[in-house]
Structures are given as C-alpha cells and as structure tokens.
C-alpha cells in the first residue's frame, strides 16, 4: 500500500519532469554532438532562444500551421547561428569559450528583441500528445508517465538510441570520436577534422534550437523573454554529468526535471514545512535545480579523485582545442 | 552524413586562402586587433541597424549626445562603470591565470545581499556600518565562488559552468530576500527589501556619483602594481602561462588557484556593496543587477586582462550600456544591448586570432608561417 | 602502382623546401627502388623528415617534382599520398589512446563496414594481422600497449590501406634492443614481399644492419646515395657530420661523500603503475653518474622524484645528507639542486612569458631577485641579459616571449639556467635531445663544467653513446630497476646494451 503510494508519487514526479526537461534533453544531445568532435559550444542558452523565437515568429507572423514546420524553422535559425559559431571557432580557430559566450549573449539578446512584441501571446499551433488507441487518460500517474507529445519520445528515446548506435556501432561514430579525441590521428587517416567539426556543430545547434521550439510549441506554450532561463547551461552540465554518453544524459535531464517539477508541484499544492512556510519553501525549491545540477557535475570528478577511476567518462581529449595541421 | 562533412572540409580547403601562425605576437598588436575587432563589430551592428531601416548614424549621434552633451550623461556612464569595472577587474584577475569566472554576476548579487543584510539590521555611525557592509560583501562574494574554486583547484572541475550555475541560484536567493525573508512590508508597488539608510559620500560637484568610483580605480592600480613588481603577480602569470612549469618552479599551483579565485569573487562582491550607493539602488530586488557581470566579462576580454585596459574598456562598455538605456525611448529595447555584446565579443575573439595568425595564399611559400611550424615541430621533437 | 618493377617506386627530382628563409632541402634528388630497404641518414635537422613529409603529403615542396611509379604526383594531403600507395609511420604516433587496436586500424578507412560491432572489427583485424605476420591484441586499448606494440599498430594501419611504400621515421628511437631487432626482421620481410621501405635514422649500426641502399643528407643537401654493402660506419659518419669538433672527456674515479643518495626508492607513474622499484643509487660530488636505458623505463619518474616533483611510495632520498621526503620542491631547489627537465618546453619554461621571466623561473624567490613580496625588475633584467649572453641564446631582447625563440635557443636557455642553479646536484634528463651537433656540444660542455667545479651530476639519456662519452660511472635502468652500475673504464657497450633490454644480469657490479 505504502509502496504503491511512493510508486505513484515517483511516477507523477518523473511524469511531470519529463516534459519539463525535454528542452534540456534536446540541448544536451545537441551540445554532446559538438563536444564529441571536440567543439565546446557554450552558446546553448542563446540557441534555445533563437530556436524558440523563430518558431514563434513562424506561427504568429508567417501563419505556419504545422508545429513540425514551425520547429524546423526554429532549428534552421539555430543552425544558421551555429554555422557562424562554427566558422569562427573551427575555420578561424577563435576561442571557443569567447565565441560561445558571445553566442549565448547575442542569442538571448536577439531572441528577446525579436520577441518583444509577441510577449505572452498564446501559441495555438501545438504538438499533440501521443495516445495510442486512446488507452491512456489524463488522470493517473501511469498515464502521466507515458502521455506526451512525439517530441518527448524523440528526445528521450529516439535521439539517445540513434546517437548511441552511431557512436558505438558504426564506422562513422568511430571517426567522430577520433576527431574529438585526437584530431591529428583522424587527419592522418584522411578524416577531414574541419569538415566534421563544422558539420556536427551545426547539427548540434539545430537540435538545441529544436529544444527552444519545443518550449514554445508545447511546454509553455507562449513566448516570454529569457525563455531558456538557464536550461542551456544546465544542458551543458548534463553532458558533463553524463560523461558524454547519450543514455546517461536521460538520467541527468530527468534529475534536473524532477527538481523543477518538485518546485511546481509544491507551489501548486501549497506544500509547507513546519519551519518554512509555503512561499519560502517554494523559493527554496526554485534554487534546487541549479544546486543539484552543480552537485551532479562534481560527481564524476569526485569519483575519479576518490580512487574510482572511470576512464570512459572523461571528456574528449581535444575538447575546446582548435586544430591546425601544423606541418603545413 | 560523411559526404556532407567532408564536403564542408573540401570547400574550406579549396579556398586559396589559409591561416598561418605568426612567428611573433606582440602585446601591442594583440591589443590593437582586439580593439579593431570590437570596432568592426560596432560597424556590423550599424549595418544591421541600417538594414532594418533604422538610421544608424542618427542613433549613434543621439547616443553620443546623450552621454557627452550634459553632465547627467557623464554621470550616468560613471554610475554604470562602477559595477561593470568591479566585475571586470575580478574577471581580469582570473583571466591572468586562465580561469574563467563567469559567475561574477552571482558574486556581485551575493555581495550586495550581504551588505543589505548588514545595512538594514545594524544601527550605528554611518561610516562603521558602511565598512561592515563592505566587509560582509567581500566575504559573501568570496564565499559564493568557494565551491567552484575548490572543485577547480583540487578536483580539476572546469569552472565555467559551475560558476555560471550559481548565478541562477543567487538570483533566486535575491528574489527570495525581496519577496520573502527581508521583504519591505510597507512598500507595496515594487517588491523589494527594506532600503539601506546609509550611502557613501558623494564626489564634490557631482549630483549622484559617490566615492565608490574611486574603489575600482584603486583596485586596478593595486593589481597593476602586483603584476608588475611582486612575486605573487609573477607566480600567477606563470600559472596562467604553463601550470606544469609553475609546479616545476615550486609554486603551490592548486592553492594559488583557490586563493586567486576567492579574490575574484571578493572583488565582484564588493562591487555589489558599492552599487547600493547608486541612486535608487538602496534595496535588493530581482532587477538589482542588470547583468553587470556579463558586461564586466566583455570588458575583461576586450582588455586582454590588462588592468589599465580594463578601465578604458569599462568606460566604453558603460557608455554603450547607458546609451542603450537612453535609446530605449527611441524605439530600441534594452535587449539589443545583449545582441550587440554578442557581436562585439565575437569581434574580440576574431581580433585575437588576427594577432596570432595571418591570412596567406595557400600556394605561396610563406616563410614566417612555416618557420613557426618548424618551431612547433622542434618543440614536439624535444618532448618525450 | 604495381607497374614496371624496373622503374623506381618513388623518386624526387630537385626538391627544395625552405622554412623561414632557411633551406631545409636544397634541390634533392632521391630515389627508392621496389623491394628495397632504403636508409635515409643524417644528423638532426639534416632534412630527412622534411623530405619524407613531402612524400607523405604533409608538406608541399617549394620546387621540384615527386614521381610515384612513373607518374608525377602533387599531394595536397596525407589522404592523396595514401591513395598513391605511400604511407608514413611518424616518430610521434597518431593513435587514438582510448580506442582499441582494432578501432585504430579501421579508423577513417573506406573499407570498414558502415555498421560494425567490436567483434567484427576484432575478427577483421585478426585476419589481417595473420596475412601480414604482425601481431597485437586487437581488443587492447592503445594506452595499455608498449611503445613497440603501438608502433606495430601504426605499421599495420598503413599496410592495411594498401601502402606499397612504407616510410618509418626514426622507428627505433623508442624501442628496446630486442624490439628493434624484431622491427628489423619485419622490415626485411616486408621488403622481401615486394614493398619498399624508407628507414629514417641517424644510428649507423641500424643503417648497416637493415638497409640495402642508403642516402646521406647534410644541411638539406644530398651527400651520397650508395649500396650499403661495403660502406663503413666511419665513412657514413664523416658524410653525416662533416668536420666535427670532438669533445674530449676525461673520466674520473671519485671517492668522497655522496651528494645524492637513493635507498630503496619506489614510485608510481601517472597511471598508477610502478615506475621505480627499489632503486639504490649514489652520486658523489664532482662525478657524473649516467643512467643508460630505453625511454620509458622509469627515467622520467627518477628525475622527478629526486626533485620532489613526484611523491615516493617507499625508500629515502638524501641530498647532502638531508632527507628530501619532507621537503617542498622549493626547499630542494634551495638546497642547490638544478633540473634540466626532459620536457623542456612543456615543463621547464613558459612560452607565453618573456625571456626575462623564464630566466628566473627557478630562482625568482631568492634574495638576489626579491625582497619580501616585491620582485626587483632591474635585477631580473640584468640577470636575464647575462644568462642570454652566457648561453648564447639568440633573441632580439629579453622582453621577447620565450615562444619566439627557436627550439635550440629555448633548450640552451633552460640548460644554462639550471646549471647555474645547481650548486650541489644537477639532474639532466636527455639534455641534448633534439639539438644539432654544435648545440649539443655546448650543453655537454656546460654539464662538464659543473662537474669540474664539484657539482654532482645525474645524467639521464637514452643515447648510449652520450652516456658512455660523458659518464664517470654508468647505471643501467630497465623497467624501473637498476640492472647494474659500472665504472666508465670497465663499461662494456654490448653488455650494457643487453641490460637495457632486460637481459642477463650476470657480471653486473652493483
């Protein structure tokens, strides 16, 4: 009986965590793609904004009626920003940290500027929940766990499986990892380091943009300034926590999402503690997602330091280091 | 996917131009190209404004007029310069050690929050309370970077994301203070904490600028001296240049990283306390920091961690910031400032590259570039 | 590629290449026939590697032609060279450390199946290694392999792509004597099977042991190409070096108090594996103790543990009778220990800092340069100027960054700085590696000067000739153990060579 209650509570917590951190999941996958080939894009926060605002523009100003098309437009806008980033850091070898922060700032500023007249306008073009045969209803926890729109399934199941397969079961993935670990070695066997890095930076940016699009097309669903609210940074942290493994990103994203849904649940139900009123508890809980994420980053490093060396969770060796074939 | 990627590579390698490493990179050229990058970025912004049908020249003129046309403008810039310079000095100090403290916004906020806590709860002579406020702010700023600093120094955890995540926590904490535990129950309209009744003395002749302006100038001077003529500055520069060589020279690298990071947090925290003397900023609310930390970061990047350059860069960014606020009445939103920041930062990053590389024709036998390659090859040959 | 066996496999006609206005290669004609092992011989900086990098598509020549099997080629990247059947194994391996042998061999190879499991990769690798007669465990990660095994992976990878001309750049520099013998056998076999092998080396014994023909390069100019048969080591040496100033070293037998004493020292390397096992060593004031051994047998850790840069697992180290176990790096330095580190650029200097700052890296805290917290800029500058002059470092000024110095100048700067810091003990790790003949002689003279003024010297080198030339006593290290210690007079080259490879320890005088 008690077990059932706990199970129920757990399912509903995770159930609401899933959509809450789908953005993080998409952005983390996007960031991971770039980082696997050695490109650290700190601009995730800006890319989410760009993806979101262009989806909003597509729906509200261009009259796009398909959420998929609106998302694609958001992805392309983010990809364009990702291309500028990639050209700066890969082709011109500019500092990935500086240009990444520039993208974060510029993306936030640009998207806020573009969205300035669209604040709070509700979006009608939404993704529909997947509900095979109408067997699920909105009320119980089990349904809450499974009852989501298709993007959620793509983010949590489709992408990690595909990325895992590509990374660990294909020639392509082998070459990818080589570019991130030792670009000189990849170059020596004829893999174009520059080309691969640009390609995956752009693809990764598009995925992060999809995350932004998902926010406005399903989660919020409306435009508001600073839409990412730190989710881009959390995504970068999730990649570290996951040790650059797609499957573990799911766990990282859900950890963050559970903290978010804990906060929203507490607010909605007016939870309080004996020594802390409902509003104070809510303020406290709203800090938790970031604190928990911070602690999560420390875990892999701590595990290594405390003697449980896990080599496979180390960052790609050439991460954030520009590559130049020096000999020429 | 592979053909696409290799096509991208092929397109790049098919261009007749390539980047070649310069044999010599002197600091003057590096500074000039960084500034050039920033100016180039402004030009790009101007062109974008023109393309969107705005008169860039008029906007530029209005901005200049708003700043230098009257005393209010000059003071407005000085007021914005104080927090920006304080965060910038903290970031510049960390950059000397190749550490990226991106959490100066959080440290700034926590400094201000601690100072407010002292200011609204203490009675006594104004000067004493102000000193205690400054001490509390300094400690709070340092405390706010403690975990990232420990993690970086002893666990080799990259500081970029850890410091940044704490910005969000600080922002939530400030919101909590304003709406919760230190809320001013009498103020109905803007929700904020009670106001601190003490402010720093004003500068003679100024309407609103206080002696807070002297603090960043003094800190810049001290830091400049430390790096010019002390062994501490020498050691920090060695750590920034090559941590292994620092260990070889017997410098306690990890402890130095920890201490310097704490100092960067402390400077930003003190900045938060100084901000409490700005007009209308005597209480904490969610809008207390207008992302001063990010502006400070850009200033540090522009100055290349040279402390005298921070002053110049800080005034430049503060002018832009102020102009942005003034121009809001002319149909531009405050958001555009951040978009412009992004373009400027990209310009700086590209400018840095321009100092280290030059563009040369692919087929021309270029001598200096190849010689640098040879030097690199020789260096590798000397390794294990 | 399998055309006329009578025409050359590869030839260059009038190849020139300059770096920074200095000719690295000057109208070089070079020709390799099918089925031959061709030794490319020369001093450091003679242009051997540059020539081969042009053949392998890494550099492009300023002038001249490359002809492969009768067809003129213009390589724009290593991939083009591989397509033409030329593969190069670089001195510094290009392997992805966290990946397996099988993955590394299949990397970037169009024939690798698109979807592939570890098992398929391993099977393919096994099959392939069977064909080539070279074996490495395909499931091992690169970082778990010995250097010799890593080299085999590189060779396999090149051969897998159908290379018909194999270039080996200084392949024995990192190998034990036994591993080198094995490599020679492999090379002979490949040549017998129809391949051409270009073997870059500066070790004369190897040239005579492995090659069919040889080409000598000196200062970018081809001196001679001739059959190896009938050539003598002294003749090749003369062609390689021209007139050489020979250092005359007088060996001594020193008695007296030990300046450095190691007792039962054990330590771990960065991977946590035992690097030194129960090492006992004594170095007396005024003598050079040479450590002979192949790279990677604990020499790096030996130098670091003496200078307190690395902790000990067991044992004790004393400098002038004082135990350094409880001392900081700085205290050890203050007690008169200088250290020319193996990785001079990576550890011994800060390339982004000015020369003047580098000049005082190991002494800036002393009274000569600082009072309390303040650093006396003028005395630093004065000292740096003197050091630059004494070490004959060529630089525009002491304010230029150290990164602007050429490799040789950087090395001289560090060597002289450390020699000056060494009052009691100088630890010199591979002090002449990568230097040309004259620069190497200068560094050696500096070390001998220190010895003659009463300083103890621990000389670590993987160049046995250098150890034999310089040392008053010689200790051989293998897998972290001292295999034997000899007086210079009684040192037998062949015997030491065997010990370096871990063979018989009979007859060793400990």
Nearest residue of chain A to residue B34 (CA atoms): A94
Q: Which residue has the higher pLDDT, C180 or B296?
A: B296
Question: Which residues of chain A make contact with B286, given a CB cutoff of 8 A?
Answer: none
Residue C447 included in any domain? yes
List C-alpha distances in Å: B150 to A51, A119, A308, B157, B238. 36, 41, 20, 9, 20
Classify residue C83 by burial, with Cβ atoms within 10 Å: 0-12, 13-18, 19+: middle
> Can you tell me the distance from the alpha carbon of C141 to that of A137, in angstroms, rounded to the nearest whole number?
51
Torsion of CA C106, C112, C113, C118, to 10 degrees: -10
Provide the whole-model pTM: 0.87
Q: What is the pLDDT of residue B366?
A: 38
A188 touches chain C (CB under 8 A): yes
Distance to chain B for C418, nearest Cα, Å: 11
Q: What is the pLDDT of residue B11?
A: 60
Nearest residue of chain A to residue C93 (CA atoms): A185
**CB–CB contact C343 B231 (8 Å):** no
A237 touches chain B (CB under 8 A): yes
Residue B10 included in any domain? no
Q: Which residue has the higher pLDDT, B368 or B152?
A: B152
Q: Quick one: C362 and C487 in the same domain? A: no
Nearest residue of chain C to residue A179 (CA atoms): C96
Of C22, C343, C374, the CB nearest to B384: C343
Question: Which residues of chain A make contact with B155, given a CB cutoff of 8 A?
Answer: 298, 301-302, 304-305
**CB–CB contact A190 C99 (8 Å):** no
* Mean of the per-residue pLDDT values of chain A: 87
Residue B254 included in any domain? yes
Residue C344 included in any domain? no
List C-alpha distances in Å: A3 to A8, A146, A266, B52. 8, 20, 21, 61
- CB atoms inside a 10 Å sphere around CB B181: 12
Residue C4 included in any domain? no
Task: Please report, for chain A, the start and end positions of each structural domain, with discontinuous segments joined by +.
Answer: 2-120+142-227
> Can you tell me the distance from the alpha carbon of A97 to that of B161, in angstroms, rounded to the nearest whole number?
11
CB C379 within 8 A of CB C387: no
Condensed to tens digits (0 to 9), the pLDDT of residues B114-149 reads: 999 999 998 889 899 999 999 999 999 999 999 999
Question: What is the bridge-based pairing of β-strands C374-375 and C425-429?
Answer: unpaired
Q: What is the pLDDT of residue A134?
A: 59
Residue C355 included in any domain? yes
Q: What is the pLDDT of residue A19?
A: 87
Condensed to tens digits (0 to 9), the pLDDT of residues A129-143 reads: 766 655 556 566 666
B185 touches chain C (CB under 8 A): no
Of B100, B173, B339, the CB nearest to A113: B339
Distance to chain B for C280, nearest Cα, Å: 24
Q: What is the pLDDT of residue B367?
A: 36
Residue B140 included in any domain? yes
Indicate the number of domains in chain C. Answer: 3
The count of CB pairs under 8 A between chains A and B is 184
Distance to chain A for B201, nearest Cα, Å: 35
Q: What is the pLDDT of residue B16?
A: 60
At A219 the three-state DSSP class reads helix
Indicate the number of domains in chain B. Answer: 1
Residue ranges making up the domain that contains B247: 83-316
**CB–CB contact C300 B368 (8 Å):** no
Looking at the DSSP assignment, which residues form a beta bridge with residue C266? C314
The count of CB pairs under 8 A between chains B and C is 120
Q: What is the pLDDT of residue C349?
A: 92
Which of B171, B342, B372 to mutate to probe the A interface, most A CBs <10 Å?
A: B342
Sort residue C434 into left (φ over 0), alpha (ψ -120 to 50) or beta: left
Condensed to tens digits (0 to 9), the pLDDT of residues C335-356 reads: 999 999 988 888 999 988 999 9
Q: Quick one: C290 and C433 in the same domain? A: yes
Provide the 8-state DSSP code for C361: T
**CB–CB contact A42 B160 (8 Å):** yes
pLDDT of B358 strictly over 50: yes
pLDDT of B338 strictly over 50: yes
Condensed to tens digits (0 to 9), the pLDDT of residues B137-184 reads: 999 999 999 999 999 999 888 899 999 999 999 999 998 988 888 887
- CB atoms inside a 10 Å sphere around CB A313: 18
Condensed to tens digits (0 to 9), the pLDDT of residues C102-126 reads: 999 999 888 889 898 899 999 999 9
At A48 the three-state DSSP class reads helix
Residue C473 included in any domain? yes
CB C249 within 8 A of CB C278: no
Q: Neighbours of B (≥3 Cβ pairs closer than 8 A)?
A: A, C
Nearest residue to A277 via CA among B178, A285, B116: A285
Q: What is the 3-state secondary structure (H, E, C) of A147-191?
A: CCCHHHHHHHHHHHHHHHHHHHHEHHHHHHHHHHHCHHHHHHCCC
**CB–CB contact B339 A110 (8 Å):** yes
Cβ within 8 Å of A, B 13-52: 13, 18-19, 21
**CB–CB contact C345 B229 (8 Å):** no
Which domain-ending residue is among C241, C269, C290?
C241
Residue ranges making up the domain that contains C411: 349-421
Residue B60 included in any domain? no
**CB–CB contact A328 C107 (8 Å):** no
Q: Which residue has the higher pLDDT, C345 or B326?
A: C345
**CB–CB contact A174 C117 (8 Å):** no
pLDDT of B205 strictly over 80: yes
At C357 the three-state DSSP class reads helix
Q: Quick one: C457 and C408 in the same domain? A: no
Which of A170, A190, A192, A243 to mutate to probe the C interface, most C CBs <10 Å?
A: A190
Q: Quick one: C458 and C359 in the same domain? A: no
Residue B243 included in any domain? yes
Residue C405 included in any domain? yes
Q: Token pair for residue A24?
A: 């993080």
Sort residue C170 into left (φ over 0), alpha (ψ -120 to 50) or beta: left
- Residue C480 backbone phi and psi in degrees, to 5: 80, 0
Which domain-ending residue is among C421, C453, C476?
C421
B350 touches chain A (CB under 8 A): yes
What is the CATH classification number for the domain harbouring C159?
Answer: 3.40.50.300
Condensed to tens digits (0 to 9), the pLDDT of residues B234-278 reads: 999 999 999 999 999 999 999 999 999 999 999 999 999 999 999
Q: What is the pLDDT of residue B24?
A: 58
Q: Which of B89-103, B108-122, B193-207, C278-292 has the lowest mean pLDDT?
A: B193-207
Q: Quick one: C295 and C413 in the same domain? A: no
Q: Quick one: C372 and C313 in the same domain? A: no
Q: Neighbours of A (≥3 Cβ pairs closer than 8 A)?
A: B, C
**CB–CB contact B156 A195 (8 Å):** no
pLDDT of A74 strictly over 50: yes
The parts of chain C modelled with pLDDT lower than 50 are: 1, 507-510
Residue C3 included in any domain? no
Which domain-ending residue is among C213, C241, C269?
C241
Of B12, B21, B301, the CB nearest to A91: B12
Q: What is the pLDDT of residue A325?
A: 67
Q: What is the 3-state secondary structure (H, E, C) of chain B?
A: CHHHHHHHHHHHHHCCEEEEECCCCCHHHHHHHHHHHHHHHHHHHHHHHHHCCCCHHHHHHHHHHHHHCCHHHHHHHHHHHHHHHHHHHHHHHHHCCCCCCCCHHHHHHHHHHHHHHHHHHCCCCHHHHHHHHHHHHHHHHHHHCHHHHHHHHHHCCCHHHHHHHHHHHHHHHHHHHHHCCCECCCCCCCCCECCCCCCCCECCCCCCCEHHHHHHHHHHHHHHHHHHHEHHHHHHHHHHHCHHHHHHCCCCHHHHHHHHHHHHHHHHHHHHHHHCCCCCCCCCCCCCCCCHHHHHHHHHHHHCCCHHHHHHHHHHHHHHHHHHHHHHHHCCCCHHHHHHHHHHHHHHHHHHHHHHEEEEECCCCCHHHHHHHHHHHHHHHHCC
C367 touches chain B (CB under 8 A): no
Q: Quick one: C193 and C106 in the same domain? A: yes
Residue B327 included in any domain? no
ipTM reported for the complex, 2 dp: 0.88
List C-alpha distances in Å: C305 to A81, A146, C268, C336. 51, 59, 10, 16
Q: Quick one: C257 and C384 in the same domain? A: no
Q: What is the pLDDT of residue B362?
A: 52
């Amino acid at each position: 009986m008690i077990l059932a209650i706990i199970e129920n509570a757990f399912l509903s917590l995770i159930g609401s965590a899933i959509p809450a951190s789908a953005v993080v999941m998409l952005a983390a996958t996007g960031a991971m793609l770039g980082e696997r080939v050695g490109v650290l894009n700190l601009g995730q926060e800006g890319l989410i904004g760009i993806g979101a605002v262009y989806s909003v523009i597509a729906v509200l100003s261009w009259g796009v009626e398909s959420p998929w098309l609106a998302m694609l437009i958001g992805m392309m806008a983010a990809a364009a920003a990702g291309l500028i980033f990639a050209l700066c850091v890969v082709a011109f070898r500019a500092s990935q940290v500086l240009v990444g922060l520039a993208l974060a700032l510029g993306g936030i500023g640009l998207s806020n500027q573009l969205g300035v007249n669209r604040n709070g306008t509700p979006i009608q073009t939404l993704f529909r929940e997947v509900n095979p045969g109408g067997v699920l209803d909105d009320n119980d926890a089990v349904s809450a766990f499974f009852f989501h729109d298709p993007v959620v399934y793509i983010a949590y199941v489709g992408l990690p499986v595909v990325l895992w397969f590509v990374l660990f079961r294909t020639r392509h993935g082998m070459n990818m990892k080589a570019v991130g670990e030792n670009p000189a070695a990849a170059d020596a066997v004829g893999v174009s380091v520059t080309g691969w890095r640009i390609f995956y930076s752009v693809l990764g940016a598009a995925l992060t943009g999809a995350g932004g699009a998902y926010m406005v097309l399903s989660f919020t669903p409306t435009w508001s300034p600073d839409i990412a609210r730190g989710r881009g940074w959390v995504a970068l942290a999730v990649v570290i926590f996951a040790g650059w493994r797609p499957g573990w990103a799911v766990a990282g994203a859900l950890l963050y999402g559970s903290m978010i849904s804990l906060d929203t649940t507490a607010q909605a139900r007016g939870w309080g503690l004996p020594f802390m009123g409902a509003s104070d508890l809510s303020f406290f809980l709203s800090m938790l997602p970031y604190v928990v994420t911070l602690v999560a980053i420390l875990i892999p490093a701590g595990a290594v330091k405390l003697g449980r060396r896990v080599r496979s969770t180390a960052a790609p060796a050439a991460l954030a280091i520009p590559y130049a074939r020096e000999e020429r | 996917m592979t053909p696409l990627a290799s096509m991208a590579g092929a397109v790049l390698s098919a261009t007749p131009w390539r980047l070649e490493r310069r044999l010599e990179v002197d600091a003057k050229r590096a500074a000039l190209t960084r500034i050039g990058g920033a100016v180039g970025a402004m030009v790009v912004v101007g062109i974008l404004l023109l393309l969107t049908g705005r008169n860039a020249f008029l906007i530029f003129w209005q901005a200049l007029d708003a700043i230098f046309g009257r005393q209010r403008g000059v003071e407005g810039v000085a007021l914005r310069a104080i927090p920006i310079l304080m965060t910038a000095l903290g970031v510049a100090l960390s950059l000397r050690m190749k550490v990226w403290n991106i959490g100066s916004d959080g440290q700034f906020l926590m400094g201000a929050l601690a100072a407010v806590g002292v200011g609204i709860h203490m009675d006594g002579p104004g000067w004493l309370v102000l000193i205690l406020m400054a001490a509390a702010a300094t400690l709070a700023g340092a405390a706010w970077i403690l975990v990232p600093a420990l993690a970086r120094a002893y666990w080799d955890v990259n500081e970029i994301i850890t410091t940044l995540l704490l910005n969000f926590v600080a922002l939530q904490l400030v919101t909590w203070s304003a709406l919760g535990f230190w809320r001013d129950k009498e103020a109905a309209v803007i929700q904020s904490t009670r106001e601190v009744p003490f402010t720093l003395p004003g500068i003679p002749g100024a309407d609103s600028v206080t002696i807070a302006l002297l603090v960043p100038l003094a800190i810049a001077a001290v830091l400049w001296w430390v790096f010019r003529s002390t062994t501490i500055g020498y050691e920090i520069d060695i750590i920034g240049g090559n941590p292994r060589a620092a260990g070889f020279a017997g410098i306690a690298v990890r402890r130095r990283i920890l201490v310097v990071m704490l100092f960067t947090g402390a400077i930003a925290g003190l900045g938060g306390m100084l901000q409490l003397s700005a007009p209308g900023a005597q209480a904490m609310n969610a809008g207390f920091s207008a992302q001063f930390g990010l502006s400070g970061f850009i200033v540090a990047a522009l100055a290349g961690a040279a402390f005298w350059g921070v002053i110049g860069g800080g005034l430049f960014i503060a002018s832009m910031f102020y102009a942005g606020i003034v121009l809001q009445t002319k149909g531009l939103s405050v958001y555009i400032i951040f978009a412009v920041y992004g373009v400027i930062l990209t310009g700086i990053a590209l400018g840095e590259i321009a100092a280290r590389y030059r563009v040369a024709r692919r087929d021309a036998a270029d001598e200096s570039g190849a010689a640098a390659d040879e030097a690199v090859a020789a260096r590798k040959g000397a390794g294990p | 590629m399998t055309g006329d066996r009578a025409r050359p496999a590869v030839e260059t006609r009038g190849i020139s290449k300059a770096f920074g206005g200095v000719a690295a290669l000057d109208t070089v004609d070079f020709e390799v026939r099918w089925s031959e092992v061709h030794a490319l011989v020369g001093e450091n900086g003679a242009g051997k590697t540059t020539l081969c990098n042009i053949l392998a598509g890494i550099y492009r020549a300023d002038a001249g032609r490359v002809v492969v099997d009768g067809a003129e080629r213009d390589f724009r990247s290593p991939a083009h060279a591989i397509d033409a059947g030329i593969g190069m194994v670089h001195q510094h391996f290009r392997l992805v450390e966290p990946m397996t042998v099988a993955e590394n061999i299949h990397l970037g190879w169009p024939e690798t199946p698109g979807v592939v499991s570890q098992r398929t990769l391993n099977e393919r690798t096994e099959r392939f290694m069977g064909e080539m007669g070279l074996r490495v465990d395909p499931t091992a990660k690169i970082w778990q392999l010995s250097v010799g095994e890593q080299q085999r992976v590189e060779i396999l990878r090149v051969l897998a792509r159908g290379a018909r001309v194999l270039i080996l750049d200084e392949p024995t520099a990192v190998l034990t004597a036994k591993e080198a013998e094995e490599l020679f056998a492999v090379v002979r076999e490949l040549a017998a099977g129809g391949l051409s092998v270009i073997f870059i080396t500066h070790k004369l014994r190897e040239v005579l042991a492995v090659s069919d023909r040889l080409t000598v390069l000196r200062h970018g100019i081809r001196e001679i190409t001739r059959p190896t048969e009938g050539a003598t080591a002294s003749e090749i040496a003369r062609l390689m070096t021209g007139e050489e100033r020979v250092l005359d070293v007088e060996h001594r037998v020193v008695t007296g108090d030990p300046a450095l004493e190691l007792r039962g020292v054990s330590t771990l390397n960065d991977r946590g594996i035992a690097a030194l096992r129960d090492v006992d060593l004594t170095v007396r004031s005024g003598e050079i103790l040479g450590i002979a051994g192949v790279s990677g047998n604990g020499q790096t850790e030996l130098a670091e543990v003496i200078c307190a840069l690395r902790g000990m697992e067991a044992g004790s180290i004393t400098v002038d009778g004082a135990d350094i176990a409880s001392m900081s790096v700085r205290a050890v330095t203050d007690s008169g220990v200088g250290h020319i580190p193996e990785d001079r650029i990576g550890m011994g200097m800060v390339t982004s800092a000015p020369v003047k700052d580098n000049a005082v890296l190991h002494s800036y805290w002393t009274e000569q340069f600082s009072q309390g917290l303040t650093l006396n800029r003028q005395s630093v500058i004065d000292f740096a100027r003197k050091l630059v002059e004494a070490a004959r470092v060529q630089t525009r000024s002491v304010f230029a960054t150290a990164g602007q110095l050429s490799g040789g100048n950087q090395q001289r700067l560090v060597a002289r700085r450390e020699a000056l810091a060494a009052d009691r003990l100088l630890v010199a790790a591979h002090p002449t590696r990568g230097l040309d003949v004259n620069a190497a002689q200068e560094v050696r003279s500096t070390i001998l000067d220190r010895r003659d003024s009463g300083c103890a010297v621990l000389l670590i080198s993987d160049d046995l000739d250098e150890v034999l030339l310089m040392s008053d006593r010689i200790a051989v290290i293998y897998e972290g153990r001292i295999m034997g210690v000899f007086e210079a007079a009684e040192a037998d080259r062949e015997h030491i060579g065997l010990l370096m490879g871990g063979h018989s320890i009979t007859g060793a005088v400990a």
